[in-house]
Each structure stands twice: as structure tokens, then as C-alpha cells.
Amino acid sequence: MKLGGRVSIVTGGGHGIGRAIALRFAEEGAAIVIAGPTAETIESATREIEGLGAGAMAVLTDVSDEASVQGMIAASLSRFGQVDILINNAGIAGPTAAATKVSREDWDRTIAINLTGAFLCAKHALPQMMERRRGRIINITSVAGLHGYALRSPYSSSKWGMIGLTRTLAEEAGHYNITVNAIAPGPVRGPRIDSVIRNRAAELGRPFEDVEREYVEPTALKRMAEEADIAAVAAFLASDEAGNVTGQTIEVSAGYRL
């Protein structure tokens, strides 16, 4: 197994892409810390991972709160003694509105969770990785961090910021044998994208189906990606096979282009 003997924290690991990554990592032999703000979802994911025979722990965490992040890292080290892999997946969609209509509160909350959260988790996971001279950080950004995204300025800005954070941390941590990479999913089939499309359709006053086509037609493969696709790339980046891959943003989008 690619990740045998390793410990991974997956923020936002209770559902969606985060859950898919957590399950794939467990199948590859890793012990998993599921961090998130909702007890029911993270505990459900933890039980599923334990059902695979892997070690698992749920930790209630608000990634935008530094004390909460410090507590999550401390709990992980107390239970497992090490953190080898950090998956910064926690994030929210933010508002769907023109920039002139976005409230400061919605802007601040989106940046705080999506970008500041990734920074805080990396800040507090890195010291023990540096001490052990090994580690992997994988930031889940978005194609919205590679292109403009009308009506989603806080989200897009947070995802652009994650790419800058990825490249900077890769430079800072490289001489400690730590790699830092990002995965940029395109539209990924599931409840999250359905909600995004519904909100966009409502804002534009258009049918759901018409807006949904705009998330599929720009892809080369004419389909959305799957959560398992993101998990597979994350498993590669976390493995020894990707030991010389760092500072990269890998797009997993079925060939999405505007």
C-alpha cells in the first residue's frame, strides 16, 4: 500500500471530495484524522474508515480559528505521534453575486475558511514535519483559481490565493524534504456542484439545466470529474512516487477551459 504507516489529516473530510480522499488514503494504508466543524459528518466518515480496518479519529475543528487548528494538530500528535500528510480541503462556496453586491462579511468568511484556514493548518503542521524531515501538504484549490469566475469573487480569490500559498510553502519547506502541491478540480459531480448551479441559475434567472450545461460544455471530455478522480491524484502526490513533485498545481477537470 502506497501510504502504509503514515498519518494524514484531511480537513473538511466529512463529506464530498474530502471524504473521498480520506477513504482512498485509508485504503492505501494511512491512518486518518478527519477534521471538520460538524460532529455528525466527521464521526460518520470516521466510522466508515474504521470499517476498512484503518486507524481514524474525528476532531471538531474550525480552520479559520488558530486555537482550534492548534488543538487539532495537538490531538493528532497525541493519538498517532506524527502527521505525515496534510490535506487542506476545508472550504465553502461563498456567495453567488456580483462583486458590487457581495457583503464584507461574506467576503471575510470565505477568505477566512478557504485561504486563511489552509495557511493556519500548514503553519502548525509544518514544525513537526520539518523536525522529522518528511511531509506532504496538498491544497485543494479549484479551476476558479486559474481563471476568472464571474459572480464568485470571494471564492475565486481564495482559490487563487491557495495557489500562491502552495508555491511559497514549497519554496520554504523544500530543504526539509517536504513537498507542497495543489489540486485544482473542475466541476465535480455531486451535491456541492448542484448547489452551486442552483444558486447561479437563481441569480441569473435561468433554468438549472441551461446553467448546468455551461459547466460541462467547456470540458474537453464533455463531462464532470468525479470525487474519486481527485482522491486518486491526491494519493499519488502523497506517495513516494511523487517525491520530486512540488510547487505544482495539477488540474483535474476533464479538460475544463473557458
Q: Which residues contact 244 (CB under 8 A, 6 or more apart)?
A: none
Report which DSSP code applies to 253: S
Cα distance from N-terminal residue to C-terminal residue, the chain: 38
d(CA 10, CA 19): 8
Residues 137/125, Cβ–Cβ less than 8 Å: yes
Answer left, alpha or beta for residue 69, where phi above 0 means left and psi between -120 and 50 means alpha: alpha
Alpha helices in 36-175 (DSSP H): 39-51, 66-80, 104-111, 117-132, 153-173
How many Cα atoms occupy the beta-carbon half-sphere of 70 within 13 Å? Answer: 3
The C-alpha cell at 108 is 471575510
Q: Which of 149, 155, 215, 256 is catalytic?
A: 155
Annotated active-site residue 149? The verdict is no
Q: Which of 52, 59, 53 is nearest to 78 (CA)?
A: 59
24, 231 Cβ separation under 8 angstroms: yes
Q: Which cell numbers hold the place of 33?
A: 484524522
Provide the annotated active-site residues.
155
